[in-house]
Structure 1
Amino acid sequence: MIFPLTLCILIALDSVAALGPAAVNLRTAANYAILSKTGVSNVPPSVISGSIGTSPIAATGLTGFSLTVDPTGQFSTSAQVVGKLFAASYSAPTPATLTVAIGDMGTAFTDATGRVNPNFNNLASGAIGGLVLAPGLYKWTSGVTIGSDVTITGTATDTWIFQVAGTLSVAAGKKIILAGGALASNIVFVVNGAVSVAAGAHIEGVILGKTSITLLTGATANSRLLAQTAVALQKATVNN
């Protein structure tokens, strides 16, 4: 039997266990590994685990996937995608579902961008390679570069929001590494400029991009790529 005082202590301990800002709610945008307004281009072979959606552009915005349209007309499949591909030109209810998801993506971007009182301001002037990043809200008023491996460390309940006013670029072969039980789903990069992941690089976390997201040859992402313009893949791997 748990007595009232013990229960209160347990609740208190649980309430302080998680470090970092309140989580960003992706709502239905979380149903997609890749979500884009203006299309997803691909230089095969890529490997995507999870669904892909694009709206308001039609299925012509999904290139390089060798699409097979389902008999229902509601989605396509591809040998490169473990999941379904959706576009605004497919049959109902797909267009309406995508409209909601795109709206949810925008709401999540506004939420993450609008967080105030950062724990870290312009850390390392944006050159964060080699750093170990604890849970918290990070803000940069310009771009962020990862020129060497960076470690994000914390527990499975901790959270991170990285607000980037400029571009985010990861150099070739460099990695974002998780430690201590940190989960990619609890990490959000909200980026106003373009996101570029160079050849052979690896990223972790949800990317909320105001513009484009590009993964070059052999790049890998354990994340969701949610872009308000286009997503471009080049022999890349995406796992959500």
Structure 2
Amino acid sequence: MISALALCILFALDSAVALGPAPVNLRTAANYAILSKSGVSTVPPSVITGSIGTSPIAATGLTGFSLTVDPTGQFSTSAQVVGELFAASYSAPTPSILTVAIGDMGTAFTDATGRVSPNFSNLANGAIGGLVLTPGLYKWTSSVTVGNDVTISGAATDTWIFQVAGTLTVVAGKKMVLAGGALAGNIVWVVTGSVSVAAGAHIEGVVLGKTSISLLTGATANSRLLSQTSVALQKATVNN
């Protein structure tokens, strides 16, 4: 007969097993709250916690931040950013560091889009508002819209990958909500089309965007915004 202690140990071990796909390795792209190839703009005041990087575009691609260049010439600062801003035109070693980060972002995108055997395919035809999303690999061959609050529920060790072939839209005032201990860092939205978080809306998770990412007035993101084109903020808040 198994003792009560043994049962407790077995339960603890079982509950510690992570559910969901293998994590996506961001490598050095994880050093940035926002990373883009063609620039980051803000309509102030936005609030970004974490560093911002853009490459191969120069610092002219960082607009609306009222930049103050550090004496080293390697980065700049802004009253809107709790962190540092980096661009390809800054002094060494910044350009080479950014080249690696941009490459790592592309590798992560390829990894995430290349995952096969999804647990859920074209769930709710992409209209996922009001749903509870458990750990797993999700795939949509079209666009996804969050038209009502959506809950992402799981343990702190669980993972999610959401593959979106079209656009991702979070409707104004609607939110992604975490439950059960789920962590934003374990959630990846890999989106081939544009990503739009409308006014007052909220998004959770790492966003790997093939095209543009936009956060409109009052939108918030508990995530990293990693775009292969541009990132545009309008009085938005981003926490990595």
Q: TM-score range by the shorter chain?
A: over 0.9
Tell me, yes or no, if structure 1 residue 77 matches structure 2 residue 77.
Answer: yes
Tell me, yes or no, if structure 1 residue 208 matches structure 2 residue 198.
Answer: no
- What is aligned with 1:3? none
- What is aligned with 1:95? 95
**Number of matched residues?**
233
- What is aligned with 1:147? 147
Measure the CA separation in 2 of the matches of 1:124 and 1:109. 24
3-state secondary structure, aligned to 1:124 = helix
- The aligned amino acid for 2:189 is F
- What is aligned with 2:3? none
Measure the CA separation in 1 of the matches of 2:110 and 2:117. 16
1:1-240 equivalences under 5 Å are 13=13, 17-240=17-240
Question: When the two structures are superposed, what TM-score results if normalisation uses the length of structure 1?
Answer: 0.95
Measure the CA separation in 1 of the matches of 2:60 and 2:182. 38
Report if the CA contact (8 A) 2:16-2:157 is conserved: no
Measure the CA separation in 1 of the matches of 2:215 and 2:37. 17
Report if the CA contact (8 A) 2:44-2:234 is conserved: yes
Report if the CA contact (8 A) 2:20-2:136 is conserved: yes
| CA deviation after TM superposition for structure 1 residue 41, in Å | 0.7
Measure the CA separation in 2 of the matches of 1:230 and 1:149. 26
Measure the CA separation in 1 of the matches of 2:112 and 2:219. 25
Report if the CA contact (8 A) 2:76-2:86 is conserved: yes
3-state secondary structure, aligned to 2:138 = strand
3-state secondary structure, aligned to 1:102 = helix
Runs of 4+ in 1 over 2 A off after TM superposition: 9-16
| CA deviation after TM superposition for structure 1 residue 17, in Å | 1.6
Question: When the two structures are superposed, what TM-score results if normalisation uses the length of structure 2?
Answer: 0.95
Measure the CA separation in 1 of the matches of 2:45 and 2:176. 23
| CA deviation after TM superposition for structure 1 residue 134, in Å | 0.3
3-state secondary structure, aligned to 2:104 = helix
Report if the CA contact (8 A) 2:161-2:187 is conserved: yes
Cα-to-partner distance string for 1:62-117 (whole Å, 9 max, x where unaligned) = 00000000000000000000000000000000000000000000000000000000
The percent of aligned pairs where both chains have the same amino acid is 86
Q: RMSD in angstroms over aligned alpha carbons?
A: 1.4
After superposition, the Cα gap between the structure-2 partners of 1:145 and 1:187, relative to the gap in structure 1 and judged at 3 Å, is same
Unmatched runs of 5 consecutive residues or more in structure 1: 1-5
Measure the CA separation in 1 of the matches of 2:239 and 2:101. 19
Measure the CA separation in 2 of the matches of 1:115 and 1:66. 41
After superposition, the Cα gap between the structure-2 partners of 1:11 and 1:149, relative to the gap in structure 1 and judged at 3 Å, is closer
Measure the CA separation in 1 of the matches of 2:14 and 2:89. 46
